[in-house]
Amino acid sequence: MNSKGNFVKKLRNSGLRPTKQRIKICEVLFKNEKTFHFTINELSKIIAEKIEEKISLATIYNTVHAFKKKGYLKEISINTDKSYFDTNTSHHHHFFDNLTKELTDLSNEDVEKIQINKSLPGKKISSVEILVKVENE
């Protein structure tokens, strides 16, 4: 279903040239329908394992940021030393386990509608995200 042809289309549609490296990264990110969260370092390790050729770290950074800009990836707001990205680009929220550093999706439906009764002059809301930190019971 998500094969090379689709990746090329996906890239073309968003004005990105379908280079060999970008297609490889697409394979890792989008091949299976299950979405996941990752840091750049984790992604780089997965790529190193799954793909025969190596892709430079700079390219991984560049590509991930390009995908983010195009809306193919989301960046998750957590205050840690590294950035977390998400292949689930739908609007949703997160659990974060500070112990295991694990992120878990919290779907939009699992949260009652959020109503913000304040606004900032001259500004409009671009996103509203909940981060639920969890700890061991």
Partner DNA sequence: TTCTAGTTTATAATAATTCTAAAAAAAGTA
Partner DNA sequence: TACTTTTTTTAGAATTATTATAAACTAGAA
Least Å from the CB of residue 34 to DNA: 23
Least Å from the CB of residue 118 to Zn ion: 13
Alpha carbon of residue 18 to chain centroid: 19
Q: How many C-beta atoms lie closer than 10 Å to residue 35's C-beta?
A: 15
Indicate which of DNA, a second copy, Zn ion, none lies near residue 36 (CB less than 5 to 8 Å, by partner kind): none
Least Å from the CB of residue 103 to DNA: 14
Alpha carbon of residue 13 to chain centroid: 19
Q: Side by side, which strands form the sheet with 84-86? A: 37-39, 84-86, 74-76
Query: Which residues here bind a second copy, judged by CB under 8 A?
Result: 75-79, 83-84, 95, 97-98, 104, 106-107, 109-118, 120, 122-137
Give the residue from 126, 128, 88, 95 showing the smallest Cα distance to 110.
95
Indicate which of a second copy, DNA, Zn ion, none lies near residue 88 (CB less than 5 to 8 Å, by partner kind): Zn ion
Tokens 């949260």 map to which residue? 111
In the complex with Zn ion, the residue whose CB is nearer, 57 or 132, is 132
Least Å from the CB of residue 73 to Zn ion: 11
Q: How many C-beta atoms lie closer than 10 Å to residue 4's C-beta?
A: 13
Indicate which of Zn ion, a second copy, DNA, none lies near residue 65 (CB less than 5 to 8 Å, by partner kind): DNA
